[in-house]
Amino acid sequence: MARSKSADLNLLVHLDALVTWQSASRAAEALGVTQPAVSAALGRLRRLFNDPLLVREHGETSVTPRALELHRLFAPMLEQWHDLTTARTGFVASTSTRVFTVYATDYLQYVMLPQLVGGMAALAPGIGIEMRPARLHQGLAMLDSNYVEFVIGYYPDPAAELRSRFLFDEQMTCVVRNGHPCLDEAWNVEAWLSYAHLDLVAHTRHFGQRLDDTLDEIGLRRKIGVTVSSYLAAPFVLARSDMIGNFPVSIASAFAQSAGLTVLAPPIPLPQMRISLYWHERYQSDVAHAWFRHYIGQQRFGVPTEATMPAGREGETAGD
């Protein structure tokens, strides 16, 4: 009995590239073929699986749930085939032109990017970093959909298919405008909670929720005066109001210097922000990806320790 004609197994290679890069042009570049060839393969894949696989909404391309399901199914087989049939040539950082896609808040870009980029200029001048804006409500799902290869931030409950590497703990402190009324009264919990707070939803609000949960455990509550989505706007809002901000120590002094603010030691121990690097399991065996993870993990970003935190009324104003 004759078998029906099988689908071209080379389509799996195209599927892997399309899901990985979410772009026909970038997939073509990665495969070393023309974009029309990849577009033709995408058309065949769509007919084969009766699914669009890649869709474009609001100016952005994303993969469908069916595409992710197929990729999770077939990617391990492709990796095994590659390992068995292809000689490993190794990864040379100094000559690589790989571009890594990353999501991090503006605060973490401020703290980390200058050092990362400065070091790479000497070690790997051809490697690029593309910082991408957040996708609303996605959080670490940006890794699952392959919108980015890395997420840097504070995410307490990552999914099982994600890998992570701890980078640093960030202490939090309080920031108010110079001349704030609280500076003329006793600085304690009552004073801290008697003014409205500026809250940050830098994509997730994980820290703000932890702070509110901490207060709830001791029967206290704060009032949120305004919620902003960017650390860049926060100091200038504080400078024109009597609100109180609770920010990472690493940027509190920079806020003070640029906007005329005063840094105060927290009247109660605030939760820390545990900053980690996250990536999807699909990249675990990628040699270039592993090099970049190691490079980031070896950095020391100069995050202030508890010893540099403002103590009481000493060092309230901006300092080094």
In three-state secondary structure terms, 275 is strand
Q: What is the pTM of this model?
A: 0.68
Tokens of 41: 């393969």
Q: Which domains does the chain have, with CATH numbers?
A: 10-84 (1.10.10.10), 99-167+277-297 (3.40.190.10), 172-271 (3.40.190.10)
34-57 pLDDT, tens digit per residue, is 888 899 999 999 999 999 998 887
Strands 273-280 and 150-153: antiparallel
**Percent of the chain residues topping a pLDDT of 90:** 38
171-204 pLDDT, tens digit per residue, is 899 999 999 999 999 999 999 999 999 998 866 6
Long-range pairs, 47-56, Cβ under 8 A, ≥24: 48/7, 48/11, 53/15, 53/18, 53/19, 54/18, 54/22, 54/24
Asked whether the predicted pLDDT for residue 3 surpasses 50, the reply is no
Can you tell me the mean pLDDT for 210-232?
Answer: 91
- Cα angle: 107, vertex 110, 115; to 5 degrees: 140
The closest alpha carbon to 220, from 180, 192, 248, belongs to 192
Q: Judging by beta carbons within 10 Å of its beta carbon (0-12, 13-18, 19+), is residue 121 exposed, middle or buried?
A: exposed
pLDDT band at 31 (very low <50, low <70, confident <90, very high): confident
**What residues are paired with 173 via a beta bridge?**
247
Asked whether the predicted pLDDT for residue 303 surpasses 70, the reply is no
The closest alpha carbon to 136, from 108, 113, 103, 109, belongs to 103
